[in-house]
Chain A
Amino acid sequence: MKITELFERGEFVVSAEVGPPKGIHIEGLVEEAKEYLSGVTAVNVTDNQSSVMRLGSMATCKALKDAGLLPIFQLTCRDRNRIALQSDLLSAAMLGIENVLALTGDHIKLGDHPQAKPVFDLDSVSLLHTICKLESGEDLGGNKLVGEPPKFAKGAVVSPCSDSVDAQLAKMERKVAAGAEYFQTQAVYEPEKFIKFMEKAKQFGKPVQLGIVIPKSAGMAKYMNDNVAGIHVPQEMIDELKADKEKTKAGITGVEIAARIIKECKPYCQGVHIMALGWESKVPDLLKQAGI
């Protein structure tokens, strides 16, 4: 199933992210996803997230699909040129993977193989353009595909609380023009900023899923503030995480904060995308508290 069909039906679409392991054993990930993500519509599989080498996104998507879940194939331009990207898109379609999230990808310097060659032959926008070309029955070089072309639900990302939000909106517009059908956002901790962003993003007429990262500790929040682009955790939230260390450690505070953000933003968006970062077990509780 394509996730876009759900948006079209007016559903509030919940997705969650999982990161493949650095190894070949995937049973744990599939079991966890089945257990904790049953209330979630689609499961997003990261593509060597943060430029750290892991098991592939496509193989993991296939395993999740076989287990009865709806996978979203994240595809970045960091490690593949246009030939490999198109080939992987055809392979994914052959495996019955219908949802793709097109990303530029983090730079290689951020990961565990800083000596590698960064590719970036295409970027998120030209990748979306390329997917549309394939769907039209031609590859990027203008050569005809044999038989029925693939068809994907094409997602993209945007950073609504970025300090360059206007540049982000301009990029979002280019993604829409290139074929993006829905958006997931970077983690939001400032609902006011998100709501302001949505007022501007509305004009593009594409569904937007609010990005959520459950804050695990005050230290994590501070780390994100210093190092992660597009994220700012306000001081009150950091204080809240500091207040009761046991409660925070148990994940209760983080889930409360995340649920509050979802509730506040829900009227302005079309879904939520949860990046649990290992806290998948907290997702059912979060959804319950957020009233979804």
Chain B
Amino acid sequence: MLITQLKSKETIVSLVDGKKIFIINCQGCKEVHFPEKEALELQKELAADGKVTGSITTDYICNPENMKLRLEKHMDAIKAADLVLVFSCGVGVQTIAEYLEDKMVCAACDSCRLPGFQGVTPIEYDCGQCGECYLNLTGGICPITACSKSLLNGQCGGSKNGKCEVDSNMECGWERIYRRLEKIGRLDVLKCPTQVRNYATDDEV
């Protein structure tokens, strides 16, 4: 079980600033609490600016087959957008980011841990429910689970031939992040401020 929480309005507004966006909502999964009402309100405001090329609301986008079927019908609207904004848990965002390989795919929510099970396919795309989703700084690849040291600020010196120093069978997560950002022409996001992880759980802060 986990909880998704909307990122702050300022964060989302500065993220989509002036860009055309396509919105994806993932709801209806019993394992995840979704802030439906708040998300809808925010999306109305975003739509008022006339920059939304389209939106869908679905469930289980963490299931790649399901997700592809749903997205296919909206490909034109997705292509017309500069950025795909996903309201879901971290697994959902990562599933879409992998599929829409040329697009900047951003998370509108943070995933916080509650004991239990998440989504239906947390095998390939893993979300550590870190409480402050970093996918917007990493091109939709989770630095918490894809990097052996869960580094937030870039690659360590241990990557060799694109593999991680800990396990030569594992791709270096930060190599993947760099290549992805390069591909979508968004290496600029690496110039973001220094990130420091917050380990305090929500009710402690």
Contact = CB atoms under 8 A, between A and B. Distances in A.
B165 A104 contact: no
Contact of B158 (A107, A170, A173, A178): A107
B160 A229 contact: yes
A121 B130 CA distance: 13
B162 interface: yes
Contacts of B167: 109
A123 B157 contact: no
A12 interface: no
A62 interface: no
Contact of B151 (A104, A157, A177, A228): A104
A125 B156 CA distance: 10
A107 B153 contact: no
B34 interface: no
A74 interface: no
Interface string A102-122: 001011011000000010111
Given A106-B158, A109-B166, A162-B157, A167 B175 contact: yes
Interface stretch (B13-21, B120-128, B186-194): B186-194
Contacts of B160: 163, 227-230
Contact of A171 (B155, B172, B199): B155
Given A126-B196, A164-B162, A229-B160, A174 B154 contact: yes
A167 B187 CA distance: 10
A156 to B, nearest CB: 10
Contacts of A228: 160
A106 B199 CA distance: 22
Interface string A125-164: 1101100000000001000000000000000011100111
A168 B153 CA distance: 11
Nearest to A123: B151
Interface residues of B, number: 32
A166 interface: yes
A270 interface: no
Contacts of B8: none
B153 A125 contact: yes
B175 A122 contact: no
Given A107-B148, A110-B165, A126 B178 contact: no
Contacts of B154: 125, 167, 170-171, 174
15 contacts: A104-B157, A107-B158, A121-B197, A123-B153, A123-B156, A124-B156, A125-B152, A126-B152, A159-B157, A166-B178, A167-B178, A170-B178, A171-B153, A171-B155, A174-B191
A157 B157 contact: yes
Contact residues of B: prevailing secondary structure: loop
Interface in A163-198: 163-164, 166-168, 170-171, 173-174, 177-178, 186
Contacts of B166: 107, 109-110
B159 interface: yes
B150 interface: yes
A67 to B, nearest CB: 30
Contacts of A164: 155, 159, 162, 172, 175, 178
B55 to A, nearest CB: 33
A11 B187 CA distance: 35
A113 to B, nearest CB: 14
B190 A118 contact: no
B201 interface: no
B169 interface: no
Contacts of A124: 153, 156
A104 B63 CA distance: 35
A84 to B, nearest CB: 14
Contacts of B155: 164, 167-168, 170-171
Nearest to A170: B190
B194 A107 contact: no
Nearest to B167: A109
B157 A168 contact: yes
A168 B195 CA distance: 17
Nearest to A119: B149
Most chain A beta-carbon contacts within 10 A, residue among B160, B161, B162, B195: B160
Given A125-B194, A167-B174, 6 more contacts: A109-B166, A118-B149, A126-B196, A164-B155, A167-B159, A170-B178
B155 to A, nearest CB: 5
Most chain B beta-carbon contacts within 10 A, residue among A123, A128, A158, A166: A123
